[in-house]
Chains A and B, each alone.
Chain A
C-alpha cells in the first residue's frame, strides 16, 4: 500500500505551533495587538490537521524568510 502523504511534513509547509486559548491573551499583550487584528486561518486547514486546533486558538507559524532568515507569524483559528 502506498504511503499516505503527510502534508504537514512536506518541506514547503512551514512549521505550525498551536497556542491554546488560555495563552492567547498573554501573547496579545506581548505583541501589543488586539485579538481581532490577527489574520485568520480555518480550523480545517490542512496544515492544522494534526494539531487539533479549536476555534479561538492561535497558530504560530515559523517560516523561512528571505530578509530575516526566519519569521514568525500568528493566525487566529476560526
Chain B
C-alpha cells in the first residue's frame, strides 16, 4: 500500500478551463429521467456522473458503486453570472481600477512605491490603494473618467449609477494587468478575478446528490438537483429568447432570474435574496447550508461521531451493588453484543451457549461471513462451530462496559464498570459513584458503551475501572466516597451508646456478608465499634481527630464531663484494622477529607476498598432502617436561657449599631485602611450582625449536643450535623436562633428606593433594622420587613447559581478544549500535538496529583513516622 502524508491543503477559486477539463459530460437537459424511468443523456442524472445503484457500471470510469466516487459535469451558461460570495471582492477591484484600461487608478510613482514595499512578496495593499483611488477623478494611465462602482448586495453592480452587467465586469477584470493584481494580494498564477464571473458552472456528481426512491415508488430528488434543474431550465429559456431575438428587457429579466438561481444554489441564505423554497414551502438546503452550522457537514458529521454498541437510560441508585458494578437492564443487554473468540478451551461452553440461546446471537466464520442463530438452525451451527470462529453473544454478567454522563468534564466522567444484568428499564449504580459523574437521580440519563476488542476490554479494565479511581487525579484526595447516609450510618454505629445483642449483631454482620462473629466486647453485648472493625482491612493503622470531637471541643466540652463525652471526644484510633476508640464521621469517610478511605484506597488493592464500601452501604441500610434517623420540630425548640441570650445578643447588637450610626453621622467613624467612610461603616454594621449571630449559634449548638451525649442517644438532624453528613450549625441557627444580617453582594442590601431599602423604613435610616437585619428565625417566622430582606438575599443566591454554572461551565469548556491535546511525554516535558514544548516539567513540579496526598508530593510527617517505626532513625 502506498502511504502518503498530506503536507498541506490549498483552497483556491476554480478555473473555468479546469471545470471543462474535469467534466465528464456537458449537462444541458433539464429533465432527469425519461418516461420509462431511465436517466436522460445530458440530464442531471446522466450515468457519466457516477453510479448510485448497485450493480451498474459507471459510464466514465467503468467501476461499480463502491469504487466510483462520481464525476463532475459542467454547464455552459448562456450569459455569465456573478458568484455571489465574491461580489464584495469584485466591488473592491472595480473601485481600484480603471474601467477603460484595467490598470490601478494610481500613478506610476505610487505603484512603484508599493511594489518596492512588498519586496517581491504577495502583500494585500487593497485598503491603501482604495484610499488613494477614491479621490481620483481621471485614470492616470489612459486619462479616462473614473467613476465609483456601487454594489447592491449581493450581485448587482452600478457603475456611475448605471447598471453594469456581468459580461462587462468580466471584460473589465480581464484587462487588469498581473503586476497590479499582485499588489492587491492576488497570486495571478493561480487566480484571476474574471473567474468570479461564472461562465461555466460545475455540476456535482450524483453521488453527492443521490435521488431517493420512496416506499411508494416515487423518486425524490435531492435539493441540489432541484436547484440545478432550475438553473438549466432558465439557461435554456434564456438561450431560446436570445436566439429568437427577444426584446432586451425580457432577456435581462431572465438573466436576473438565472443570477438568482445560481446565487441560491451556492447559498440559500444570502442576505437580500429571498431563499428558494421547495414545493412544500421548505427552504432548500444548498451547498453552504450543507456545510455550515451545527447541523452542517463539519460540526455534525466530521467533529461529531455516533457509535454502535451503546445504550442510554435513566439512572437509579442501588446500594446493594458494588461501586465497580453497573446494573444493565435486561432489555439493553439483549440488544448489546460482545464478540468472543472460540478457542479450544471455550469451544464446549460456546456450543452449549448457542444451543441454549433463544436470544439473538451471531456466529462469524473465519472467512468473515456471519450467521444469525435462530431456533431452527442452532443445532446445525453449534455442530459447525470450531476454533477460529467468533461468536457475538449478548452482554452478560461480568462483561466490562464503559459508563458515561455528560457533560464529560474530566476523565472520571467515563469509567469502566462490570455489567450486572438486571430486570427493569434503568441503569442501576451505587450512589457512592455519583460524585465523579456529578450525577443525581432526579431523572439523569447516562450512556453505556460496550468495548468490542480484547485490547479495548483490557484497557477499560486496567485503566478505567471505577474502583481504581477513588483518588481524584485533580487534587489527590478521595473523590469516590460515602456521603450523607453512608456517613450518618457509620456515625450512628460507632457512637459509644450503640450496642447490639448477639442476635442483632449476627443479623447486622450477616447483612454485611460476614459469617464470623467476633468475641463480644461489652459483657454479652457487642459495641458498634467492634462491628465496624469487621469491615476494616487487616493491618490498617490510623490516628486522627474526628469532626465530632472538634465540635465538642468548640462547644466547650471536656473529656471529664462524662464517660460518653470522653469516648466521643477521644481520637479515632485504628490498630491493625480494629477501631479502638473514636467516632467515625466525615473526617474518616467523606469526599476529600476521609482519612480511612484515603488510607485504604492508597495502601490496599482496589478490591479492598470496594469491599469496604460494600460494608459501609450495608451498615447504613441496617442502622438507618432499624434505628431510624428522623427530624422533629422539638429539635429546634430552645431553652429559656438561649431565648434570653438571643434577646440580649440582639439588643447588644442594636445598641452597638446605634453607636456606630451616631459616630458615622458625626463623622467620627474610624476608617478601615483602603476603604471609604461609607464602606467602612457598612463593614462595621455587617460585623456587628455576625458577631451577635456567632455567639448565639455556638450556644444553641452546645445545648443541642445533649441528644447525642445522653445514655439513650436520639438520631436526628443534630447527629447529621455532628457527623457532617448533612447540614451545619448555621442551618440550625437559622431555624432555631435568628437569621441575622441578610446579604446581597457581600454586604448589606442597598439598592431599593431613594435613601432607603423598602418604603416602610424612614428615609436616610442606615441602622441595623433598616439595613436588612433579621431578628427572627424560620421556626417563629419573620415579619413583613424581614421577609423582604430575606427574599433579597434569596434572589441573589438564585441568580448566582444560574449565572455561575452557565459561565463557569463555558469557561471550563474553552479551557479544556485548549488544553486537551497537551501530553506529558516520557522525558517529563509537556508537549502539544505537534510536539511543541510547553512545560519543561509537568505542572512545573513534575508531580501528578493523583499520586499525591492532597497535592503534596511527599508527606514528610508520614514518611518520618514510617522511618521512626522501622528503626532507621
Interface residues of A (CB under 8 A from B): 31-33, 37-39, 65, 67-68, 71-74
Contacts and interface: CB of A to CB of B under 8 A. Distances in A.
Contacts of B845: 65, 67-68, 71
Contacts of B243: none
Nearest to B847: A67
B840 A31 contact: yes
29 contacts: A31-B840, A32-B827, A33-B827, A33-B829, A33-B837, A37-B835, A37-B836, A37-B837, A38-B837, A39-B836, A39-B837, A39-B838, A65-B844, A65-B845, A67-B843, A67-B844, A67-B845, A67-B847, A68-B841, A68-B843, A68-B844, A68-B845, A71-B840, A71-B841, A71-B844, A71-B845, A72-B840, A73-B840, A74-B840
A68 to B, nearest CB: 4
**What 4 A-B pairs are tightest by C-beta distance, nearest first?**
A68-B845, A71-B844, A68-B844, A65-B844
Contacts of A67: 843-845, 847
A38 B836 CA distance: 8
A58 to B, nearest CB: 12
Contacts of B837: 33, 37-39
Contacts of B827: 32-33
A69 to B, nearest CB: 8
A68 B839 CA distance: 13
A76 B15 CA distance: 44
Contacts of B840: 31, 71-74
Contacts of A65: 844-845
B559 to A, nearest CB: 41
Interface in B769-810: none
Interface in B832-864: 835-838, 840-841, 843-845, 847
Contacts of B838: 39
Contacts of A31: 840
A60 to B, nearest CB: 11
A11 B529 CA distance: 56
B735 to A, nearest CB: 40
Contacts of B844: 65, 67-68, 71
Contacts of A73: 840
**Interface-central residue, A31, A37, A67, A72, by most chain B CB under 10 Å:** A67
A74 B827 CA distance: 16
Interface of B: 827, 829, 835-838, 840-841, 843-845, 847
B843 to A, nearest CB: 5
A76 to B, nearest CB: 10
A36 B467 CA distance: 43
Nearest to B846: A68
Query: Which of B835, B837, B838 gathers the greatest number of chain A CB atoms within 10 Å?
Result: B837
A29 to B, nearest CB: 13
Nearest to A69: B845
Contacts of B835: 37
Contacts of B847: 67
Contacts of B829: 33
Q: Which of B841, B844, B845 counts the most A-chain CB atoms under 10 A from its CB?
A: B844
A14 B574 CA distance: 48
A28 to B, nearest CB: 12
A42 to B, nearest CB: 17
A15 to B, nearest CB: 15
A74 B829 CA distance: 12
A74 B839 CA distance: 9
Contacts of A39: 836-838
A4 B837 CA distance: 36
A61 to B, nearest CB: 10
Contacts of A33: 827, 829, 837
A36 to B, nearest CB: 10
B840 to A, nearest CB: 6
A74 B841 CA distance: 12
B474 to A, nearest CB: 13
B145 to A, nearest CB: 49
Given A32-B827, A39-B836, A71-B845, 16 more contacts: A33-B829, A33-B837, A37-B836, A37-B837, A39-B837, A39-B838, A65-B844, A67-B843, A67-B845, A68-B843, A68-B844, A71-B840, A71-B841, A71-B844, A72-B840, A73-B840
A65 B835 CA distance: 24
A71 B155 CA distance: 59
Nearest to B845: A68
Nearest to B843: A67
Nearest to B842: A67
Contacts of A68: 841, 843-845
A8 B847 CA distance: 31
B815 to A, nearest CB: 16
Nearest to A70: B844
Contacts of B841: 68, 71
B473 to A, nearest CB: 15
A74 B837 CA distance: 10
A75 to B, nearest CB: 10
B720 to A, nearest CB: 36
A37 B834 CA distance: 11
Nearest to A68: B845
Contacts of A37: 835-837
Nearest to A63: B844
B564 to A, nearest CB: 45
Nearest to A31: B840
Contacts of A74: 840
A33 B837 CA distance: 10
Nearest to A66: B844
A33 B841 CA distance: 12
Nearest to A38: B837
B838 to A, nearest CB: 8
A57 B420 CA distance: 62
B856 to A, nearest CB: 11
A39 B829 CA distance: 12
A2 B843 CA distance: 41
A74 B836 CA distance: 13
Nearest to B849: A67
A58 B841 CA distance: 18
B833 to A, nearest CB: 15
